[in-house]
Structure 1
């Protein structure tokens, strides 16, 4: 919102409030022990390391002994496909492993609309980029010798449509639709439920369902999930007697992070562009569902009683209905009470009543 001042000067209230919120969040982060890896900046500091990735991936894929991944190469996360105009995709972490796996790891804090579509669309771009890079290492230029050239052409035909294994790992801080447990592996299957290809998989974690206590953490997979979920609110993270995990924890200590990166984290935590889009979506949906109902009821009451107060009450009820619809949608998506209160403007007691009502239905 912009306010017009004297002499043609305007003041952007929204931007000013955002800057104030970022500064306040920055000061709060500095008082914490760790930066929160559930946000993009903290996640990359925590995980974007060759040894941390190897340990995490071996846990995710349950690889042991000779099958364990022994090295990974972190790659440029930016992908640009060219249609009539370039279409950019920015991944959180993209890497290739020594066993031939192409890996994309995404930390998803905000609940996006059309989540499944987003996973598929992003994976298509990731798969095309992985195929292109894989071809560069397997296709040799044609030599002048005809016999040698035929061998290369034969190999080209053999691998023309061959793709490397491409696995997308999504770590979600919201309720994942149609997934019962905290961990799910999704694939492309036919009508009979048979997997079409083992080379394409989506491994999705729902941190809202990950409730294991510290004494029940046994695997590397669970250790990393536990740390990701709890780092932002913990003062003393366990390293599980693992040097790789100990170094990862050390990287997210607030005292070891530059002020510039802390400000990036604060900006990330106030509202990402994606969260702003999601909030606008919630408001629009609430506008259509709650505001119209509240205003209509208020107007009817005002007409029946012949008083303007009825209309005013209706407008107030409409605004309250809108806030409640936003709160319901956010609670259904697994957002925290703190976040719901901040965005909806409702009191915590109102939100708890709404939550209890949802859970009893």
Structure 2
């Protein structure tokens, strides 16, 4: 038995963002946000693509987005590599989700809280060893909460989670273990299967449940992630931003060619002019492209 790796964008969305994933996502969020307490009773899984409503505002691409029964929005991102300004991107996506709730004429009282849950396969906060970190607005000296504490940032750093299977203590441990190790397992651990939602997640993650097109997309993303990790490592070793940017462009071109065919020279030229931040955004978006028209539309919206 082989399972898809939840750290890969396609796999994460398949497991936690599919039409049949509501109960899985409820259990997962209760575990990671509320220490296993049944705070979330129901939710609606939304389109994770945040299209801008204001000229000049960047598009955002998340892995999963949900509206909870109490009106709170939760945006979830699984990130394998520590790219430039990643912390700023997390904050930007949270603030954008909060701000774009309102359209012209609507009142500020209608704004609902936003929780940004970010799972990283690298260390974000080297100064402590806590696996999970929760950030909210606090007064600097008194550490009292802001009167309207509507944006919360939650980080789960997978490298800091060192528990083995036999030492998992609660459902939070089990879900983090699921994210970290499922891609390496060949069977469902008995202690994990006792949680119905985790058992269902394993069933979705079973490679035999995927179509050939889904397997091809997954394989392309896995290859891209491996190549991207190598290019980032080379860029760091050389200490040259340009080297990383060139490698990133080369990988994106290769992936786009596989997905939508050989690019025309104009599209290639426009991609080569993108900044590092824009290239990182394109990586998140390109797996949803089915034609060169999709790429052209993305460039029109993001390359100003």
TM-score relative to the length of structure 1: 0.58
Q: Give ranges in structure 2 of 5+ residues lacking alignment.
A: 241-304
What is the Cα-based RMSD across aligned positions, in Å? 2.6
CA distance in 1, matches of 2:67, 2:196: 23
- Change in Cα spacing, 1:202 to 1:85, as seen in structure 2 (3 Å) is closer
Aligned to 2:32: 60
Q: Give ranges in structure 1 of 5+ residues lacking alignment.
A: 1-31, 140-155, 290-361
Aligned to 2:85: 114
- Change in Cα spacing, 1:270 to 1:160, as seen in structure 2 (3 Å) is same
Equivalent runs, 1:1-361 vs 2, <5 Å: 33-48=2-17, 49-62=21-34, 68-85=39-56, 87-129=58-100, 131-132=101-102, 159-178=107-126, 179-192=128-141, 193-196=143-146, 197-238=148-189, 239-272=192-225, 276=228, 282-288=233-239
CA distance in 1, matches of 2:151, 2:232: 31
TM-score relative to the length of structure 2: 0.68
1:285 to partner: Cα distance: 4.6
- Change in Cα spacing, 1:258 to 1:286, as seen in structure 2 (3 Å) is same
- Change in Cα spacing, 1:257 to 1:195, as seen in structure 2 (3 Å) is same
Give 1 or 2 for the bigger CA radius of gyration: 1
CA distance in 1, matches of 2:236, 2:178: 35
1:173 to partner: Cα distance: 0.6
CA distance in 2, matches of 1:64, 1:230: 20
Report the 3-state secondary structure (helix = DSSP H, G, I; strand = E; otherwise coil) of the residue aligned with 1:61. helix
Report the 3-state secondary structure (helix = DSSP H, G, I; strand = E; otherwise coil) of the residue aligned with 1:87. coil
Q: Is the 8 A contact 1:172 1:204 kept in 2?
A: yes
Report the 3-state secondary structure (helix = DSSP H, G, I; strand = E; otherwise coil) of the residue aligned with 2:6. coil
1:177 to partner: Cα distance: 2.5
> Aligned pairs, how many?
232
1:212 to partner: Cα distance: 1.4
1:180 to partner: Cα distance: 2.5
CA distance in 1, matches of 2:135, 2:152: 6
Q: Is the 8 A contact 1:63 1:69 kept in 2?
A: no
Q: Is the 8 A contact 2:71 2:112 kept in 1?
A: yes
Greater percentage in helix? 1
Q: Is the 8 A contact 1:109 1:172 kept in 2?
A: yes
Q: Deviations over 1:139-158 (max 9, x none)?
A: 9xxxxxxxxxxxxxxxx6xx
1:287 to partner: Cα distance: 3.0
